[in-house]
Structure formats: C-alpha cells, structure tokens
Structure 1
Amino acid sequence: MSDAASFDVILTKYKTAGDIAAKAIKGVIDAVKADATILELVQLGDRLVEEGTGAVFKDKKMSKGLAFPTTISINNVVCNYAPLPSDEASSRKLQDGDVVKIQLGAQIDGYPAILAETVVVGASAEKPATGRTADLIRAANTAADVMIRLMKPGATNHEIGRKVAQSLRDFDVRSLESIQTNQFDKNEIDGKKKIVVGADAASRADSAKLEENEVYGVDIIVSTSPEGKTKTDDGHTSIYCKTNSTYLLKMATSRKVFSEIQKKAGAFPFNLRSLEDEKRARMGVQECANHALVKPFEVLVDSSSSAITAQIFFTVAVNAKGAIRLTPAPTWATAENVKSDKEVTDEEIKAILATSVRQTKKKNKKPASEAPAAA
C-alpha cells in the first residue's frame, strides 16, 4: 500500500472520530442553558463520545473512546475545567450571559479528533451576544479562519503564529500565553511540532515547517485582558495523562490507582471521575504525578478575574491543496447569534480570508460550437 493510500485509511479514522466528536459537542451545546450544572454537561459530553465510538468498527478489536474528556470552562476560566462530583464547583449552575467553552475529543484506533466551541448562555438570534463578548468570539473565529488557510506544506510555524496574532488586533483582544497548537499522531496529542500565536522569545516554539499529511490540533484561545497572562488553579485539576516514565510506587493505594489507569486510560487524557473510586483516585494520583507517571492537565484561568476568554479548537490535516478539516467549523457562533461592531480592516488579513481553504480545479467550459444541442 502506498503512503498516500495509507494516509487515506488513517484519515478515515480521524474523520470518523471527528464526526463523533462533532455530534457530541452539539449535544452539549443544546444542553447549555441557565441552571444546567457543569457536572451534568461534562458527563453528557463524555457519554455521547463513548456511545458514538462504541457504535463503530464493532467487528474489530481496536482502541476507541475519549481522546479528551469533556471540559466546561466559564468566563475567565481558560481550559481543562471538569470538576469531580465531590467538588462543590461541579454543582455550579450556568447563568445567562456566561461565556462557556466546551472542549472534548474522540479517538478511533488511536487517531484523535478534538474540537472546542464557545457559546453564550441565553444568547440566540432573537437575543444575540453583543459588546466585548461578541468581539471576543468573533475574533476567535476569525483567527481560526485565518489559521486554517495558512496551514499548507512549507508554511513555518512562526509565520503562521504571527499572522494569526495579527488577525486579532482589529478586535482589541489578544491570545493567551501557554496556549499552543500541537501536532497529532497515533496515540499522540502533544507531538514535536507546535504553533504558538503571538509568542514572545521566551515562549516561542522551535522553528518548524509544516509538511503534507501531518495532522494538528489547532487551539486558539483569546482574552479581553490586556496582559494575556494565565495562572493555574491546582485545586480543580481532574484530568491527567499517563506518560512513558517508570517508577516503583511506594503506596499501595497509588499502585492500585495506577494499575487501573493503565487498563482504562491508554495513551489519552482521562478524568479521575472515570476511575472506580474517586476518593482513592484523588489520593493515588498524587504520588503518580509527583514521580511523572502521569502528567496533569492543569486548570488555567486568566490572571484578570474580570476577563472573559473564548476558545476555538479544531483538528486538521495538512494537504497540498489546502487543509482538510477533520472536525467541522464551529456551528453556534453565527452572524445571527453574535453581533460585533468590529470587523477586519487589515488588508493582509482580509486577503488571506478571501482565499479558499481548499484549492479546487475549475472545469474548462467547452466552446459553444462543441456544446450539446438542446433537445
């Protein structure tokens, strides 16, 4: 089988995972209403992904399930927020006007498709989001539209990051530090190549060129805060991922928890809620994390408590004719639901947005003399 044919088979698995993730996130978006709790929403998202992956490739023994547990991050909370049932925060009810970032992912045979959208509780075509909230969401979606058009073979990660940051200026928002786009591969969501939007010298990723048939998880998070700084909220960390490190755990509880992690979690992030005993899991995972057997996906919050943040995440394959979407474009943030007074005025960014994501061959029209006669 040729390399191209092999990648087509792989793309089918990515796309299948992407379709499942898209249906799951739509189910969560439909449930985002005032008085819905965070716990209800994260449980719903995880269940929909598990049901979706369980319904495909039934005759084959392959890894299937969550590529990233459902997270519900509100207002100045940036990402990775999925409190456990015992956490008081899990019963926090959504309120009209909350800016809610929903992220989740599915994987088929180890090929992950992750996506995220931002919605506003109570907003609709009849009562659209306006003001700074609308500016923020439109900026994130514009940045995503610019990013996908730039992801072609030969493009450099630094140039892509610079132009995406440039696309945010007309909206008076900025990208957040610590957020990066990662290369994906089988059983991998943190590959070698990375893209950082608007990075300074300290946070800039190693220079790299995109190549055909690479897959990326594009993460764009923007904030209304002028600094764009984040801090961790360690008290609510509930998502971890097994590493390849080894260590002889001292505590029996830790050994039992790690054994369960090895059986259930595989290569992808998991929520402690998925383990058998939450209290034991909380205890045991600490020794595992202290000795790098697992790494935490820390909850990040904007350093400014008054800030709001928006996120767009999509999975994409790099192709000579342009990027191939493996997860669909956001569906909630329509022109009807989000009414911003700001628009792109930068001519370079406008030119990028005017191009197609995928090149299409134009059919040559036959001369009139060769056209078939009308019946």
Structure 2
Amino acid sequence: MAEAQAPEVDYTLNNPDTLTKYKTAAGISHKVLDAVIALCVEGEKIVDICEKGDQLLDEEIAKVYKGKKIAKGVSHPTTVSPSSYVTPYTPLKSDAAEAEITLKAGEIVKIQLGAQIDGFGTIVCDMVVIAKKDSPKEVVTGREADLIVATHYANELLLRLMVPSGVLAQGTDEEKAKAAAKKPPTQAQISDLLEKVAKAYDCKVVENTTSWLFDRNEIEGTKKIILTPGNGVRGEGVPEIGEVWGVEVGLSLGSGKVKNLDHRATLHRRTTTTYGLKRPSSRQTLSEVVKKFGTFPFSLRQLEDEKAAKVGVVECVRGGVLRQYEPAGESDNSPVSRVLSTIAITKNGITKLAAPNAPDLEQFKSDKKIEDEEILKILEQPIARSTGNKKNKNKKKKTTGGDE
C-alpha cells in the first residue's frame, strides 16, 4: 500500500502562518535594532557594536518557536556603516586596523540587521546621527538634516509607488475598474520621481540602489527595482499583491557615484552553485555556513573560528558556492544615507513589517522643502486601507506631515 503523501505547504501570504512568521521575525529585528541604536555613541568600536547586535539577535530568536522543528536564525548580521559607506559594513576582530574603527560625533551611521523564522526573513536598516558623548540630544540642522529628511520622504514616496494599481481605489465599480487598469509606474519613472525629491534637498540618489522581491529563504528574488541604474544595469518586474519586498533608499550629499573600498569583504552568502571543494578548511567552512545560515547573508565573525573562516572562504568564493559582498562607499567620500524596510503587499495595501523609525521632524530641521505638486500629491496618499485603528492613524499623521 502506497504511503499517503504529506500535503504541500502553502508558503505564500495566503497562509496566515506565513504572515505570523514574518511578523515574529520583524518584532525581533525591531527590538534588536532599537538596542543597537542605543549602543551607537561617540568613541564606541564598530566591531563591538556588531558583535553585541548579533548576540542580541541570537538571544531573541532563541525565545520564539521553542521546541518546534522550524528553522530560524539571522537573516542579516548586524552591520554598522560609517558616513560615506554605501554598503553594510561589519569588520572583524582579527583585522587589527578595522577592529579599531570607532564612531565619530556628527557622522550619519547606517545600522542594518534582520531575523528569519522558517526561511521568512525580515531585514531593516535605519540611520542615526552620532551625538557627542555625554551630551544631550541636539537638534540636527544643515546638510545632515537635509539628507535625513530627504531620505524619509524619498522612502515614503517609493512605498506609495509600490502600491499596485487600484488596490486603494474608492468610488463606484467603474471608478475602481478604471484605477485598477492604470499602468503601474515604470522603473524609469520611479527613479525620476525619487531624483526630484533628492534634488529638492540638494542630494543625489545613490546609483544602483536596489529593492528586491523576498521569498522563502531568498532575499534577492526574481524581481527588483533599481534606482538610478548605471550602464548595463536594469530592474525587472512590478510589485504585486501577495508579495514581500525589501525596499531600499539611499541618498548622498555628494555625487551619488559608488567606489569599492580598500577593506576585506566580510559579508558573504551561499549561492545555489555546487562545486567540488578540494581543501578540508573550505569544506568545513561551507558546512558551517549551510548549517547556521542557509542562504542568508552572514559575517565571517559569526563563524566558529574567524581566522580559519578567512582562509576557508577563499576557495568557496572562487568556486562560486559563496558570494562575497564587496565593501563600497561614496566616490567622493561624502555622507550617504540608507534605509531599508521589509513590506508585505496585500489586498489592503502595504504593511510595513520591519521599517526604520520615522525621523522626528522637530529633531531634524531642514530649511529646504518639496514643492513639486505631483510628488506632494503622491505623498498625501495612504499606503494601506484604514482599519479604523486610531493608534495607527496617529502614527501615519506623524510620519507624513513634515513639509507644511
């Protein structure tokens, strides 16, 4: 007698368990992000902050889905990127010079991290302006304020441009059908609108800033939106109901162009490539990566033996079984911003699963503002249907009402 096959699990957002797992992962990401932001003070070593962040991620992940046969872990290690760094930065204790890099007062630092439950990863990136040690929080003005306020509005604009046509339409059936038939904005149009926001604050969009479709065990899916793409680079696909995306915005006070930095690549990720590794150290490193991180990004310092890992990854990268993320920064060393939100697109609009904190516009004072009518009109639109929750309404008002 043939054995009954186990029913196929629905991993889409149609399954309420999927959204629960995303939300659980997001809760952990937010909690640890807030703790790491509190650690970011003048004079602190970046490597120490990253290690503490990963320790907190592990502790919080261990508290959920206890005793269940569900894979869980870090979906992105803690990274702390100084002012001019474009990519996530996570130094090693064993690289003496980088291990001594500390945070400087006044610089804009980007913190990125994430957790995953059952392969459903949420990643979040937020920014903080490093305050002087033991001094009260000061109001941020000038170019740093321009950059942070511009990034906030560029991010809010991009989220609204990702709402599928007709999802939030109101009125008669005919009006709703007309709204649903409207073509979504092209990637060139999206880039153009975000560049207008950047220009209003005398900033530039960082070239090739990419938002990706997320899937189970996958943070770089089959669709992507690329802002200000360079030569030979293009995005593909439009956001649709039922999808989860990692939405990224990065702006610069300089050229917006990117250069590779003279630092070791410490952030890696397993690929789908198979290759017969010859060295025992390489096989051992890959085995540990598969067991601990699956296909999510990891830092070499998260491996058992950091020095052995530095040797072991060489053949893995050369054979294509691991991909390394090259450290990159602003080509003219100007300050850059980066925020990243994990969002779910549902029939009611966009749910922010893990998202940066909205800047307090009393704390960041820019003397510039958006005057483009088209952009102001888009920013006035909601990202989701109102559920009648007063708390959420108040929160929405706070995040979108700073240009008056």
TM-score (norm 2): 0.84
8 Å Cα contact 1:112/1:186 also seen in 2: yes
Which amino acid in structure 1 is aligned with residue 113 of structure 2? L
Residue 259 of structure 2 aligns with which residue? 231
Structure 2 distance, partners of 1:34, 1:24, is 20
The C-alpha deviation readout for 1:218-268, integer Å capped at 9, x for no partner, is: 111111113x11122253311100111111112222122222222222110
Contact 1:81-1:236 within 8 A present in 2 as well: no
* Cα distance change of structure 1 residues 135 and 5 upon mapping to structure 2, 3 Å threshold: closer
**1:323 is matched with which residue: 350, 353, 371?**
350
| Distance across 1 between alignment mates of 2:355 and 2:72 | 20
Which residue among 93, 99, 108 is the counterpart of 1:99? 108
Secondary structure of the residue aligned to 1:225 is coil
Once the two structures are TM-superposed, the CA of residue 125 in structure 1 deviates from its matched residue by: 7.8
1:302 aligned to which of 310, 316, 330: 330
The residue type equivalent to 2:49 in the other structure is: L
DSSP-derived class of the 2:128 partner: strand
Distance in 2 of aligned mates of 1:198 and 1:274? 33
Equivalent residue, structure 2, for 1:217: 246
The CA distance in 2 between the partners of 1:274 and 1:3, in whole Å, is: 28
Give me the identity figure in percent: 36
C-alpha root-mean-square deviation of aligned residues, in Å? 2.1
CA contact (8 A) 2:217 2:295 kept: yes
Mapped to 1, the partners of 2:245 and 2:44 lie a distance apart of 32
SS at match of 1:288: helix
> Hey, what's the Cα distance between the residues in 2 that align with 1:211 and 1:230?
30
In the alignment, is residue 149 of structure 1 matched against residue 177 of structure 2? no
Q: Structure 1 235/59 Cα, relative in aligned 2: closer, same or farther at 3 Å?
A: same
In 1, distance between residues paired with 2:112 and 2:363?
Answer: 20
Q: Is the 8 A contact 1:171 1:342 kept in 2?
A: yes
- What is the letter of the counterpart of residue 69 of structure 1? P
Q: Deviation of residue 345 (structure 1)? A: 0.9
Give per-residue Cα distances to partners, 1:293-348, cap 9 Å, x unaligned: 0001221111112x0001111000112322111114415x3113211111111111
Partner in structure 2 of residue 334 of structure 1? 360
Relative distance call for 1:308 and 1:234 in structure 2 (3 A) is same
Q: Paired residue for 2:54?
A: 46
User: For residue 365 of structure 1, what is the aligned residue in structure 2?
Assistant: none
**Distance of aligned partners of 1:4 and 1:31 in 2 relative to their CA distance in 1, 3 Å threshold:** closer
Match of 1:173 among 198, 203, 213: 203
Go from structure 1 to structure 2 and tell me whether the alpha carbon gap of 1:83 and 1:355 turns closer, same or farther (over 3 Å shift). same
Distance 2:387 2:294 in 1: 42
Residues 115/27 of structure 1: CA separation in 2 closer, same or farther (3 Å cut): same
Task: Render the CA deviation track for 1:122-159: whole Å, top value 9, x for unaligned.
Answer: 17985122111111111111111111122222434514
* Larger mean Cα displacement after TM superposition, 150-159 or 274-283: 150-159
The CA distance in 2 between the partners of 1:161 and 1:59, in whole Å, is 46
- Distance, in Å, in 2 between the alignment partners of 1:328 and 1:217 is 10
Cα 1:291–1:361 change in 2 (3 A) is closer
Cα distance in 1 for residues equivalent to 2:136 and 2:199: 26
Q: What residue in structure 1 maps to residue 190 of structure 2?
A: 160
More off after superposition, 103-112 vs 84-93: 84-93
2:372 maps to which residue? 346
Aligned residues: 359
1:65 match: 73
2:13–2:242 CA contact under 8 A, matched in 1: no
| Aligned residue in 1 for 2:37 | 29
- 1:15 paired with 2:45, answer no
- 1:9, CA displacement in angstroms? 2.0
After TM superposition, the structure 1 stretch with the greater mean CA deviation from structure 2, 191-200 or 151-160, is 151-160
Task: Tell me the secondary structure at the aligned position of residue 336 of structure 1.
Answer: coil
Q: Does 1:117 align with 2:134?
A: no
Letter of the 1:355 counterpart: Q
The letter for the 2-side match of 1:90 is A
Identify the range of structure 1 (228-237 vs 63-72) with the bigger mean alpha-carbon deviation. 228-237
CA offsets per residue over residues 149-183 of structure 1, 9 Å max, x none?
Answer: 22222434514333233322201111112320000
Q: SS state of the match for residue 235, structure 1?
A: coil
Specify the code of the residue in structure 2 equivalent to 1:38.
I
CA distance in 2, matches of 1:8, 1:164: 34
Measured in 2, the distance between the counterparts of 1:80 and 1:91 equals 17
Over 3 Å counting, the alpha-carbon distance change for 1:2 and 1:247 in structure 2 is closer
One-letter amino acid matched to 1:142: Y
Partner of 2:143: 132
Q: Judge which range, 250-259 or 214-223, deviates more.
A: 250-259
Greater alpha carbon shift after TM alignment, 94-103 vs 196-205: 196-205
